[in-house]
Structure 1
Amino acid sequence: MQEGNKLVAIITARGGSKRIPRKNILPFLGRPIISYSIHAALESQLFAEVMVSTDDEEIARMAEAEGAIVPFFRSKENADDFSGTADVIAEVIMRYKERGMTFETGCCIYPTAPFVNPGILKEGYKKLVDGKFDVVFPMVKYSYPIQRSIHKVENGKVAMLWPENYHKRSQDLEPVYHDAGQFYWFRSDYILSHKKLFGDNVAGLEVEEKSVQDIDTLSDWELAEIKYQLLNRK
C-alpha cells in the first residue's frame, strides 16, 4: 500500500439481478459467489476497507459474514438496471467523504468474479501507480479475429463486416481485446470528475482466456465452475 494513501475495495452487489435471480449470493462450488471477491480483496492486504455496495439486506448480512463491511446501503437511483458502475463508485466515494473518510484510490470488484485473486489485484494496483493511469482493468484477447466478423443482412444471408480482411492471415491481423468484466482500479478524482471508467488514460492488464467467464446465464455459470476447477486442481 502506498504511504499516506488508504485504499478501498468496493464490491458492487445489488439485489435485483434479472437473468439469474439472486445471482450475487448463489452457491458457486459450495460457497456464495460473492465470497470469492471478498476474500480476494481481504487476502491481498491492500485495502483499509473492503466494503459491499448493496441495496439488499440479505446480501449485506452474507457479505458481513464473509468479512466485508456494509457501512451504508446503496441509493435507489443507483440500484436499478440502468445504473452504471462509475455512478455506484462515485456514490460510495461521496458517502465516505460525508463521513470524513477520503480514499484517493480504490478498486471496484464485481461480486460474480471468482477468478479474481490477490495476485492479480496487486498486479493491477502496481500498474495503476507505476503508469500513473486513471483506471486499470483486466482484459482478454478475442479467441477469433474480429476483423473477420460476419453479420446477418437480409433473407437469411450473411456478409463480412470488413471484406477487405478476407484474404489476410490471422497472424497478420492486430490482436483485439475486450474487458474481462472482473475489476477496475481507479483514481477517485477521475471518477468524480468524469463519471465513467473508460477515458484517454486507461490501461489494460492482459489475462488468459481460461481465467475469464461472463456469468449471465446458467450455462455460463456451469462453464465458470468447470474453468475454476481446472485452474485450481491440485
Structure 2
Amino acid sequence: MKKHENIVGIIPARAGSRRVPGKNIRMFAGKPLLAWTVEEARKSKYLDRVIVSTEDEKTARIAKRYGAEVPFMRPNALAKSSTFTEPVLRHAIEWLKKNENYKTDIMVLLYTTNPLRSYRHIDEAIELFLKKRPDSLSSACEMGDAHHHPQWVFRPVRKGGHTELVNAVGDNIQDAPLMSQYLSKYYVKNDIVYVFRPKVLYQKNPCFWGGKRQEAYYMDSFYDEDINTQEDWDRVEKKFKVFKKIGKVKARLRR
C-alpha cells in the first residue's frame, strides 16, 4: 500500500539535555541512544526519509553514521531547553521546501527517548494513519493504575457552606464505580510515535497531535518508557538489555 505522498521521519536531537547531559549521543546498551531510533526508522517500509534535526556537529556525525540524513543544522535559537517541538518541525518542513523543493505530505515524529520502539510500531501507526486519514495520530497505552484513574482522583470543591469531592471527569466521587473492573477505559498519550499532516503545525494553536480529526494508535504499555532522568535511564537500559537478550523486545509486539 505504498503511497504517492512524501512521508518524512523527523528525529529531534538537540545537544543540551540538562537532567541527563549528552543524552542523545550517550552510550545506551552498546550504541548511542540516538542510534536505536535511527536504525528502527530506517527499517520502516513507509518512511521516504529519516532526518535528524540537531544544532550539534557531533550529534550530526553520529546520526549520519547510523544512516540518518542531516541536510541542515538546526538554528541555535531553536535548540534551547524552552523550545517547543512545533517550531523545530516547521523549520524542517520549510527548509526542505525552500532548499530542495521537497514537499512534506506526512510527518512522523520520533523522539530518541523511547528506545523500546520498533519499526513495526512505526509502520503500524503509519498504516492506520493512511487508512483513517486523520489530521494527526498519536500512540497511546491504556491507563492501568486504578489509583490514578480519572474517575477516582478528585479535588475538593467548595459549594455554599460545604465541600464536594469532584473527580477528574467532573462528577461527584460518590458516582464513580466502587470496583476497578467497572471503571471506564482511559488511555495515556505516550511519545513513541506521532503521525500528522504539516497543516496542524500552522493552525491557531499549533500542535502535532492536534487538528479536527484525531486518531490513536493503541499499543502495549510495555513500551511506554520515556528517558528524562538518570533513574529513567538506568531502569530502561536494564529492561532493554534483558528483553533484547532473550528476544522479547520484538516478540512482545502486540497492541
Structure 2 partner of 1:44:
44
Structure 2 partner of 1:206:
218
What is the RMSD computed on CA atoms of the aligned residues? 2.2
Deviations 1:149-169 (A, max 9, x none): 3679xxxxxx97623356621
Percent of aligned pairs with the same residue?
26
CA contact (8 A) 1:42 1:50 kept: yes
How do residues 26-41 of structure 1 correspond to structure 2 at under 5 angstroms? 26-41=26-41
Gaps of 5+ in 2: 157-163, 168-172, 248-255
Describe the SS at the equivalent of 1:148: coil
Structure 1 partner of 2:24:
24
Q: 1:166 to 1:7 in 2, by over 3 A?
A: closer
CA contact (8 A) 1:52 1:63 kept: yes
Gaps of 5+ in 1: 153-158
CA contact (8 A) 1:108 1:184 kept: yes
CA contact (8 A) 1:11 1:53 kept: yes
- CA distance in 1 between counterparts of 2:128 and 2:242 reads 28
Confirm or deny that 1:176 pairs with 2:186: yes
Structure 2 partner of 1:191:
201
Structure 2 partner of 1:11:
11
Describe the SS at the equivalent of 1:183: strand
Counterpart of 1:131 in structure 2: which amino acid? Answer: K
Structure 2 partner of 1:138:
139
Q: Report the Cα offset of residue 54 of structure 1.
A: 0.6
Deviations 1:101-138 (A, max 9, x none): 11101211101221121111111001111111111121
Q: 1:151 to 1:80 in 2, by over 3 A?
A: farther
Larger Rg: 2
Q: Report the Cα offset of residue 85 of structure 1.
A: 1.7
How do residues 57-76 of structure 1 correspond to structure 2 at under 5 angstroms? 57-76=57-76
- CA distance in 1 between counterparts of 2:3 and 2:221 reads 34
- CA distance in 2 between counterparts of 1:39 and 1:161 reads 47
Q: 1:31 to 1:168 in 2, by over 3 A?
A: same
Structure 1 partner of 2:252:
none
- CA distance in 1 between counterparts of 2:109 and 2:215 reads 15
Describe the SS at the equivalent of 1:64: helix
Structure 2 partner of 1:155:
none
Confirm or deny that 1:148 pairs with 2:152: yes
Q: Report the Cα offset of residue 32 of structure 1.
A: 0.6
